[in-house]
């Protein structure tokens, strides 16, 4: 039942993604996604269903497939940080918990791990998970960096337009002097709400899959903790026999 539901939901998500690039027809029953927040809501609801199924043999392959699809979908939409990071945090919780056989938040043993970690991820699963984790982290940093560069380009274009409109030399000198004063003020200004939000955004990006990284390092015997993930802040689960 859960398997069929997950297969149908992933297929429907893929169809809606494809429809985004096509011309809608009046007879279409599948509507393309309007933004990435809609994609995240669709995937998020499936993660919830898989998690409560309490069946590792279903959770692991479908969550890996979902995480892989995410890396494809996220490239095709403007950034939606709030929904994106919420989904990634939920996936991080699921993967990290499945890797150590217990809920990383409640420390309760997960169903299906009564005989130890053999009921969880295989080495092949862990290698695939590691690849997806690394790919997602790099991809999200590129997307956020691209958004920052676009904002800088927009600011530069606005400044160029203003310069072209200044035909009076006296006004131009005044504008230059004012710009210089403004530049000094910017260097000493206190952080604005936008600055704080942008800093928080990059911190969220640095913490993508932070718990999964630690658990993969423990299971594979290879420390995967990235430079931007504070190792002391991420608890390790006690390994089950």
- Whether residue 60 is found in the same domain as residue 151: no
Residue 240 lies in a domain: no
* Predicted pLDDT at 166: 47
- Whether residue 224 is found in the same domain as residue 191: no
Structure token digits, residue 99: 């890797």
DSSP string, 87-139: HHHHHHHHHHHHHHTB-TTT-PBPTT-TT-GGGS--HHHHHHHHHHHHHHHHH
- Whether residue 191 is found in the same domain as residue 137: no
Residue 217 lies in a domain: yes
- Whether residue 171 is found in the same domain as residue 192: yes
Cα diameter, the chain = 82
- Crossing angle for the helix pair 56-73 and 123-165, to the nearest 10 degrees: 20
Residue 239 lies in a domain: no
* Predicted pLDDT at 240: 54
Reference 224, options 133, 141, 135; nearest CA is 133
- Whether residue 41 is found in the same domain as residue 156: no
pLDDT tens readout for residues 125-145:
999 999 999 999 999 989 888
- Map tokens 């939901």 to a residue: 9
pLDDT band at 20 (very low <50, low <70, confident <90, very high): confident
CB-neighbour burial class of residue 51 (10 A; exposed 0-12, middle 13-18, buried 19+)? middle
Tally of structural domains, the chain: 2
Domain that holds residue 188: 147-199
- Whether residue 190 is found in the same domain as residue 104: no
């Amino acid at each position: 039942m859960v398997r069929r539901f997950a297969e149908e939901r992933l297929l429907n998500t893929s169809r809606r993604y494809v429809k985004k690039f096509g011309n809608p027809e009046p007879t279409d029953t599948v509507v393309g996604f309007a933004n990435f927040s809609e994609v995240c809501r669709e995937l998020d609801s499936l993660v919830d269903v898989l998690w409560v199924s309490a069946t590792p043999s279903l959770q692991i392959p479908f969550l890996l497939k979902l995480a892989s699809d995410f890396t494809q979908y996220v490239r095709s939409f403007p950034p939606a940080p709030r929904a994106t990071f919420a989904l990634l945090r939920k996936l991080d919780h699921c993967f990290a918990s499945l890797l150590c056989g217990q809920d990383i938040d409640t420390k309760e043993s997960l169903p299906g791990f009564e005989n130890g970690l053999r009921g969880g991820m295989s080495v092949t699963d862990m290698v695939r998970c590691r690849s997806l984790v690394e790919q997602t982290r790099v991809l999200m940093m590129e997307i956020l960096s691209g958004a920052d560069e676009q904002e800088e380009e927009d600011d530069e274009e606005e400044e160029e337009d203003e310069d072209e409109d200044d035909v009076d030399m006296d006004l131009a000198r005044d504008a230059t002097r004012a710009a210089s004063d403004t530049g000094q003020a910017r260097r000493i200004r206190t952080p604005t709400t936008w600055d704080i939000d942008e800093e928080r955004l990059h911190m969220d990006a640095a913490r993508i899959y932070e718990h999964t990284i630690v658990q993969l390092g423990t299971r594979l015997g290879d420390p995967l903790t990235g430079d931007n993930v504070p190792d002391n802040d991420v608890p390790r689960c006690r390994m089950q026999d």
